[in-house]
């Protein structure tokens, strides 16, 4: 039986998405790595649908589990930032170099952090930060621990997802069970 690389990528993405639902430190989850990976390995429309769908479904599940609201006006920044990560995966290409993969992971982590914290500040959904330059700086300063967690999580999960997929693909291909993407 031949397995398509797209099907193998989808199975790998599905497995890693569930990791967002298990207990973990704040922002140490596979979503950035999954977004880059799906953007890199799947057709654009499919990668966007899967990645944003995974974010939405896991947000809904986390809201049900934790009892906290996970949506607000700031969610526009979260979802658009995540969409940018998926598109960065397309920019990486289907066989990115190690250097390009890690640079894109780091850039995605920083970019997402800057964009989403700007969203927290500008929407003021939580009423935490005044819309002043001091409020913006306070928002970013208070978010530094989340950036550290994101960087660590994205590098670890990126390694697991990209290298794990390469390892599994090589084993399946060696067995003669891997077909072209179509």
Q: Is the dihedral of CA 166, 78, 58, 55 positive or negative?
A: negative
Domain positions in the chain are: 3-179
Mean pLDDT of the chain: 85
The b-or-e profile of 93-124 (16+ CB within 10 A means b, else e) is eeebeeeebbebbeebbebbbeebbbbbbbeb
Task: For 104-123, write each residue's pLDDT tens digit.
Answer: 999 999 999 999 999 999 99
pLDDT, tens digit, 9 for 90 and up, residues 61-89: 878 887 777 777 888 999 999 999 999 99
Is the Cα torsion angle 142, 148, 154, 160 positive or negative in sign?
negative
Read off the pTM. Answer: 0.83
Rounded CA-CA distance 48/8 in Å is 17
């Amino acid at each position: 039986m031949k397995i398509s690389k797209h099907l193998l990528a989808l199975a790998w993405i599905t497995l890693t998405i569930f990791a967002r639902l298990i207990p973990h430190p704040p922002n140490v989850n596979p979503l950035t790595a999954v977004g880059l990976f799906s953007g890199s390995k799947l057709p654009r429309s499919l990668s966007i649908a899967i990645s944003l769908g995974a974010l939405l479904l896991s947000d809904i599940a986390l809201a049900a589990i934790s009892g906290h609201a996970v949506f607000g006006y700031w969610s526009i920044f979260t979802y658009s930032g995540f969409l940018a990560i998926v598109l960065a995966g397309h920019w990486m290409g289907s066989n990115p170099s190690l250097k390009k993969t890690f640079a894109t992971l780091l850039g995605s982590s920083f970019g997402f952090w800057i964009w989403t914290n700007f969203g927290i500040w500008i929407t003021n959904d939580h009423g935490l930060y005044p819309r002043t330059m001091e409020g913006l700086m306070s928002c970013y300063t208070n978010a530094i621990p989340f950036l550290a967690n994101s960087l660590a999580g994205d590098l670890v999960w990126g390694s697991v997802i990209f290298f794990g997929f390469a390892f599994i693909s090589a084993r399946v291909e060696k067995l003669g069970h891997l077909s072209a993407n179509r």
